[in-house]
Amino acid sequence: MEPFEASLPPDLARLRVLRRELGDWLDRVGASSDQRDAVVLAIHEAAANAIEHANGRVTVRGARDEEKLLLVVSNTGRWKGPRASDMGLGGLTLMRALMSNLEIHVEPERTTVRMRLDFSPSEVHADLGSSRVTDA
């Protein structure tokens, strides 16, 4: 099944296009409406944070692996705002709630947000999932 990949310049206006393209891909890989919405919102929050607080391009990758969706948002360039672990409370709260698992790895020149959504409708929005933040 085709993976998803998008490379965004540090331009907040591109987030709307990202949401469209990601939503279309999620439809193609068989995500339900709830799963589609959850992933689009979670990825939006991660990408928006990366664009707002870092410089350089932001890369979004997604793949369906049997019964789960794996998604990665990463940015290059020096982190110039709050550290990823200090990500806006609302955005981080949403990502944790929407995804089955969330990991944020912060390095001096790169931040990577990894998300997993189990491909089971009953698990979407079921709980706050699990999350982990590591600073290099």
* Interface residues toward another protein, by CB under 8 A: 12-13, 15-16, 19, 33-34, 37-38, 40-41, 44-45, 48, 52, 88, 90-91, 93-94, 97-98, 125
Q: Which residues contact 21 (CB under 8 A, 6 or more apart)?
A: 4, 6
E-assigned strand segments in 1-136: 4-8, 58-65, 68-76, 101-107, 110-118, 130-135
Q: Of 1 and 126, which has the nearer Cβ to another protein? A: 126
Task: Give 73's strand partners.
Answer: 60, 113
Q: Of 53 and 136, which has the nearer Cβ to another protein? A: 53
Smallest distance, another protein to C-beta of residue 79, A: 18
Q: Of 65 and 120, which has the nearer Cβ to another protein? A: 120
Phi–psi pair at 69, nearest 5 degrees: -105, 130
Smallest distance, another protein to C-beta of residue 66, A: 25
Query: For the chain, what is the largest distance between any 2 Cα atoms, rounded to a whole number of angstroms?
Result: 39
In angstroms, the first-to-last Cα distance of the chain is 33
Q: Of 90 and 108, which has the nearer Cβ to another protein? A: 90
